[in-house]
Structure 1
Amino acid sequence: MPGTTLPSAPHYVPPPPTKESLEWADLPIIDFSKVGTPEGRAQLAPRVRDAMRVHGFLMIVNHGWTQTQNDRMFDIADAPFSQVSEDEKKRFQTKTQETGTAEGYKMRRVWTIDNGVRDELEYYTFFGQANHPDVLQPFLPEYQQFARHNHFDVLHPILRLLALGMELPEETFVDIHDFNDAAVKYARFLKYYPRTEEDEAKSKNVWLKGHTDIGTITILWSQPISALQVMSPDGKWRWVRHINNALVVNVGDALEMLTGGFYKATIHRVVQPPRDQRGSTRLGAFYFAMCNDDVRLVPFTASPVLQRVGVVRKIDDEDAPTMSEWRKGRSKAYGMTELKRKDDVVEEQVINGVVVKHYN
């Protein structure tokens, strides 16, 4: 934040990228330096359209933040975990299972992963709440800046490109993604902690089962510990490679429903890191975008593309949930309800009348 003295934060030093030989996903890399002009967007729109239909994931470079700003963001992203006492964390513990809103801390070992193994994931979510731990108060302007950059400089251009890919007016999806300057929403910082070898064996090294995200677009700030895997079009799990100061972007359930299946929510999971990175904690910075709470998740059938290729619905339009209903239903159920096994890979549950799949 130019012209101001930033509050002090311990420098977060991640381990170096893995040197292991892994099977990497071949994700398209989109240069965002071109999104500022109609000509640039027209050039990028077909690439983004195809990336989100074929892979569901893409990577973005030249998004407007420097590596120095990125480093600073991870320094303050670590503060909710390394600078806040366990007692204070419990004071700000989320009540997601009661309210469906994931503000504050999700503590470790809340969710069941597999065979009785509990998760080792802790996160802090900014969702417009008025109160935060004292240690985080000095960083609130920077958290706000982080949220604004994700929303206006990354999310909005992506939404414009995706609308162009469906031959809709550029602002179609932007218009249903408002931002409240008074409250940071959907920004989340998380940390995975190492597990015992016994738990790794019981859960087949899976830290978070294969799943799709709740909202419209997920923006992940790339970090060097390899653990994220995406299900490729051929059904194989492949690793997502780290690129300095890049963003990893994917489609969520809400956008799949809004686009009548044209853009499909991406199946991804988190697994134990490769051998040369084990034993380290894995810090993540995310922006989980969702459309406005009152938006009903029905397809934009005015799209000429949908009229040509057809609409695929998860649920009849008259029964479709709003964004608020979908967010709360999925958030309350995640990791807490019993899944019905369909085969050796897929488990299912029904949320708001929609079948939700998990991949183990």
Structure 2
Amino acid sequence: MNTYAPHYEPAPVTTAELDWADLPTVDLSLASTVDGRVALSRIVEQAMQEHGFFYVTNHGLDADQNARIFDIADVAFSGVSPQDKETYVAKMKENGSYQGYKPRQYWHIDNGVRDQNEHYNVNRDITRREHPEAFRPFLPEVSAFTKYNHEQILHPLLRLFARVLGLPEETLVQLHNYEAVGETYVRFMKYYPRSEEEEQSTQQVWLKGHTDFGTVTILWSQPVTALQILSRDNVWRFVKHVPNALVINAGDALEFLSGGILKATIHRVVQPPPDQRGYTRLGVFYFAMTDDSVKLAPLIKRDGIQPRFTEENAPTMADWRTARTRAYGQSVLKKNEAEKGVEEEVINGVVVRHYN
């Protein structure tokens, strides 16, 4: 019998009229056959060209299982004391690892305003580090959830991405071994409402526009509307909540491995519409990365597309993730004089951009 967790009641779905991103949907139940994967890979290819994001439905977990993982996620915040959270703070700047807590106000957003979100990150190997006592009874369920995300969702998606690139289906799967050393993790994240003064100082931006540094991000859809993607026409559009669906995007490492064919997607988090303000925003993510030892050199080259790295100068996944983790929200960014609202830093010779 599962350990009791108080039910987390999410915000009602917004009724605001917003500019929504028209994202395509991948029905993952069709991925069990070759014909299904061929059809789905076409959807993925179009999605990556036009949006960089897509939905996944029929992933195998039902609405009750979905609600349960959000209840467990909230235990990490509402059920753990501030003192215990301090004990298990992640060594982000020291070790380049997110494992543990990221406290509120760790990242600088804009004009002296710091973030109002905290998250708790659990490596797919739950034994990598200790956990708060109040959270330990839920570790078997969290471990099962990470394995399900990795093998039943991530791996099928990697086969589709490989097809898009014209590579053998198992090429990317073989770089994402569940038992290997790496930082692939579940993230439970909770945003808290901010003051009106903070909203004005940051132009309602809660998290600057950025790309993820891993290969694939799996976001479990939740109703607070705050996620925006930078569409190909350079317009920020909201991602609509789809009950029990997943929102998928590519990160830097997949862009590097694909030789620039699959672009890491720029996205940000902003203040929700008026009818959802005052609610917390609880998120559940699976951030996938290759095994730490994998070099992020292009697996394929296409005429007219310049890859970020060559075989000779490509960093390993461990190098890239530690550098990005240490720098994010802590380094001094340089404004791009040619593009308004764009700030930059250089990591491993690559210009990393942040969009305000």
How far 1:320 sits from its partner (Å)? 1.4
- The gaps in structure 2 that reach 5 residues or longer are none
Q: Matched residues in 2 for 1:345 and 1:181: separation?
A: 39
Matched, 1:341 2:335: yes
Question: Cα gap change, 1:331/1:270 in structure 2, threshold over 3 Å: closer, same or farther?
Answer: same
Q: What is the one-letter code of the residue matched to 1:353?
A: G
Say if 2:182 and 2:318, in contact at 8 Å, map to a contact too.
Answer: no
Deviations 1:94-124 (A, max 9, x none): 1110000111000001111000000001000
Q: Matched residues in 2 for 1:236 and 1:46: separation?
A: 25
- The gaps in structure 1 that reach 5 residues or longer are none
Partner of 2:229: 230
Q: Matched residues in 2 for 1:314 and 1:261: separation?
A: 7
Q: Matched residues in 2 for 1:84 and 1:134: separation?
A: 8
How far 1:37 sits from its partner (Å)? 1.0
Partner of 1:355: 351
Q: Matched residues in 2 for 1:338 and 1:313: separation?
A: 26
Partner of 1:264: 263
Deviations 1:50-77 (A, max 9, x none): 2122211000000100001001110001
SS at match of 2:179: coil
SS at match of 1:295: coil
1:27-106 aligned at under 5 Å gives the runs: 27-106=23-102
How far 1:186 sits from its partner (Å)? 0.9
SS at match of 2:248: strand
| TM-score between both structures, scaled by the size of structure 2 | 0.96
How far 1:353 sits from its partner (Å)? 1.0
CA RMSD in angstroms comes to 1.4
Percent of residue pairs identical: 53
Question: 1:314 pairs with 304, 308, 311, which one?
Answer: 308
Partner of 1:8: 4
Q: Matched residues in 2 for 1:100 and 1:184: separation?
A: 10
Deviations 1:230-249 (A, max 9, x none): 00110000000000000000
SS at match of 2:206: strand
Question: 2:319 pairs with 305, 317, 325, which one?
Answer: 325
Q: Matched residues in 2 for 1:215 and 1:321: separation?
A: 13
1:94-133 aligned at under 5 Å gives the runs: 94-127=90-123, 128=125, 129-133=128-132
Deviations 1:155-212 (A, max 9, x none): 1011001101111100000000011299994111000001100000000000000000
Partner of 2:145: 146
Q: Which runs of 4+ in 1 moved over 3 A?
A: 181-185
Say if 1:160 and 1:173, in contact at 8 Å, map to a contact too.
Answer: yes
Say if 1:210 and 1:270, in contact at 8 Å, map to a contact too.
Answer: yes
40-49 or 225-234, larger mean C-alpha shift = 40-49
Q: Matched residues in 2 for 1:283 and 1:316: separation?
A: 39
Q: What is the one-letter code of the residue matched to 1:121?
A: N
Number of residue equivalences: 351
